[in-house]
Amino acid sequence: MKPEDLPESLSPLRDLDWSPINIGESSASVWRIALGDGNAAFLKSEPLHPLAELPGEIERLNWLTHMGFKAPRVVDAEQGHERLWLLMSAVPGEDLTHYLDQPDVFVHVYAQGLKRLHALDTTTCPFDHGIEARLAAAESRVEAGLVDETDFDDARSGWTARQVLDWLKVNRPQTGQQIVTHGDASTPNILAFDRRFSGMVDCGRIGLADVWQDLALACRSIEFNIGRDHIAPFLSAYGAEWDEAKYLYYCTLDELF
């Protein structure tokens, strides 16, 4: 269904073919808009809120564009009376949920994409995604009642958001070198074209953090989608060794976002 409160600047899109994108767990609404000749744009909308993520995503997409990284380009950004709007270009290819029957390609593309992102120059990245910054953001989300306690993984089923936050504060792991991380490196956010990495989407949490910020969520997503046996080949292709403590920590941290 098309939104009724589309800003005037975006109204020329109303008569085009819209398809809602329901994969993912973001609070934002996303549509694919067909432009003809196989081309498309994506529109993302989020309610106005002090903790809204779209303003930060716009900043990060513009930075990724400056860095020449494969991600959506900002076409237009608008603020209405009650919502924020972001119109983006499409990234070629399909997300990795379309490669579940090709686990070798799935693993290779996952590792290839993260290695390329993690190689970006940290000295030019203004975004902090480290543990202290994320705990502060998590505290704000808990206090605002934005955490869905019914969606916790089995290991934390029945916990309150405050209990998760308290555990995170007590169990901080040692962190390694800070690199540019995606922040939500799950399967739907990694794209491939012709069996090769073609880009990343949902980039609102790009920032400097320990590599396991991304590896933990990638390993969890790999286990869920194609099986735990594929985690070791993924880590081998990426060039990392398993870290149980960091895996547990960053998966737990993700519960609050």
pLDDT digits (tens, 9 = 90+) for 46-78: 999 899 999 999 999 999 999 999 999 999 999
Told to judge if 17 belongs to the known catalytic residues of this protein, a careful annotator would answer no
Strand 83-89 relative to strand 74-79, pairing: antiparallel
pLDDT score recorded for residue 24? 61
φ/ψ (deg, to 5) at 95 = -70, 165
Q: In 3-state terms, what secondary structure has residue 224?
A: helix
pTM, two decimal places:
0.93
Q: What's the pLDDT score for residue 91?
A: 96
Written as one letter, the residue type at 153 is: D
pLDDT reported for residue 213? 98
Residue 25's pLDDT is 59
Give the helix/strand (H/E) hosting 99: none
What's the confidence (pLDDT) of residue 7?
A: 87
* Contact by Cβ (8 Å): 197, 191: yes
Q: Which tokens go with 18?
A: 């819209």
List of domains in the chain: 8-89 (3.30.200.20), 94-254 (3.90.1200.10)
Which alpha helices (DSSP H) does the chain contain, by range?
54-67, 103-118, 131-143, 161-170, 212-226, 231-238, 244-254
Residue 162, token pair as written in the block: 């405050």
Round to whole Å and give the CA distance between 170 and 165: 9
Query: What local confidence, expressed as pLDDT, does residue 37 receive?
Result: 81
Residue ranges of the chain with pLDDT lower than 50?
A: none
Annotated catalytic residue within 95, 184, 202, 254: 184
pLDDT of residue 26: 63
Give the C-alpha separation, 229 to 82, whole Å.
46
